[in-house]
């Protein structure tokens, strides 16, 4: 016999999936018992969709920022010196990077 979580307890994604598949397999919805499961599953899907939208928006913003920045280090066959790399970073970055300490 399948052990079901107590009513009112929030189910994990795996529990929701298993119970939704059981409802689909049986083909009959018990409104008193299954309404809670279906509501929790819908809430979980909605929350996951919101999180994915936020992550996608954040990644798009990062991509736009990276596309907007121009490459400041030119790659050649020669290895750049540490000073050349620091110059490419700019004043704020190399002070904050820990490579150069302020006295």
pLDDT tens figures, 44-68: 999 999 999 999 999 888 888 877 6
Q: What is the pTM of this model?
A: 0.50
Which is more confidently placed, 4 or 65?
Answer: 65
d(CA 6, CA 41): 16
- Burial track 58-97 (b if 16+ CB lie within 10 A, e otherwise): eeeeeeeeeeeeeeeeeeeeeeeeeeeebeebeeeebeee
pLDDT, residue 52, reads: 92
d(CA 65, CA 70): 10
- pLDDT confidence bin for 10, thresholds 50/70/90: confident
Q: Mean pLDDT in the chain? A: 76
pLDDT, residue 6, reads: 66
pLDDT, residue 43, reads: 92
Average pLDDT of the segment spanning 14-20: 90
């Amino acid at each position: 016999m399948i052990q079901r979580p107590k009513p009112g307890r929030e189910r994990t994604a795996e529990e929701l999936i298993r119970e939704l598949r059981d409802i689909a397999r049986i083909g009959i919805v018990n409104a008193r018992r299954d309404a809670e499961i279906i509501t929790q599953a819908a809430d979980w899907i909605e929350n996951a969709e919101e999180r994915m939208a936020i992550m996608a928006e954040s990644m798009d913003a990062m991509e736009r920022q990276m596309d907007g920045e121009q490459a400041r280090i030119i790659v050649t066959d020669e290895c750049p010196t540490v000073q050349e790399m620091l110059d490419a970073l700019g004043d704020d970055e190399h002070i904050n990077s820990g490579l150069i300490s302020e006295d």
